[in-house]
Amino acid sequence: MYEIIEFITFVIYIREIINLMKKLLLLFLFVGTFVGFSNNLKAQLREPSSITQKADDGVLLAYPNPAKDFLIIKAKDSSLRIKSVTFYSILGMQVANYTVNMNSGEINIEKLKPGKYMIRYILSDNTQKVTQIVKQ
């Protein structure tokens, strides 16, 4: 008989813990949603200024940033050619590679999924640089 009472007490204790965990989960979801919503508002307030941005590392221009379907790239030094441009996801996986062999060019990126990408480019003097763009 004592074992049954002990088991029932244990079950009630477990139920209380589960209810407490449910309440904590709801609290975390509520706080996370509120924080995420307020961060989204800040991002939306800053969005118009990002429309005219250019990724400029002193050697190469890449614009518009964020880009939708096409990305224009241009080496600042007119004597240099952009040999290749490689796109990497934020996880470091290569997702696209383009051979340019010109001082400037337009790259069709409409097949890339929206998100942030790192671009590694190699110039004709074998300079390698990395810059970041956002695909809408």
Q: Taking CA 72 as the corner, what is the angle to CA 130 and CA 74, rounded to the nearest 5 degrees?
A: 65
Distance in angstroms (rounded) separating the CA atoms of residues 9 and 71: 66
Residue 6's alpha-carbon distances to 12, 16, 17, 18, 20, in angstroms, are 10, 15, 17, 18, 21
C-alpha 105/C-alpha 49 separation (Å) is 24
* C-alpha distances in Å from residue 35, one per residue of 30, 32, 38, 71, 74: 9, 5, 5, 33, 39
Segment 74-86 mean pLDDT:
92
- Across 56-65, 114-123, 124-133, least confident range: 56-65
* Domain boundary assignment for the chain: 1-50, 53-135
* Per-residue pLDDT tens over the stretch 32-74: 555 444 444 333 333 334 444 666 667 888 899 999 999 999 9
Would you call 95 helix, strand, or coil by DSSP? strand
pLDDT of residue 14: 83
> pTM for the whole thing?
0.59
pLDDT at 108: 93
Q: What band does 12 get if pLDDT is binned at 50, 70 and 90? A: confident
According to the CATH classification, is domain 53-135 in 2.60.40.3080? yes
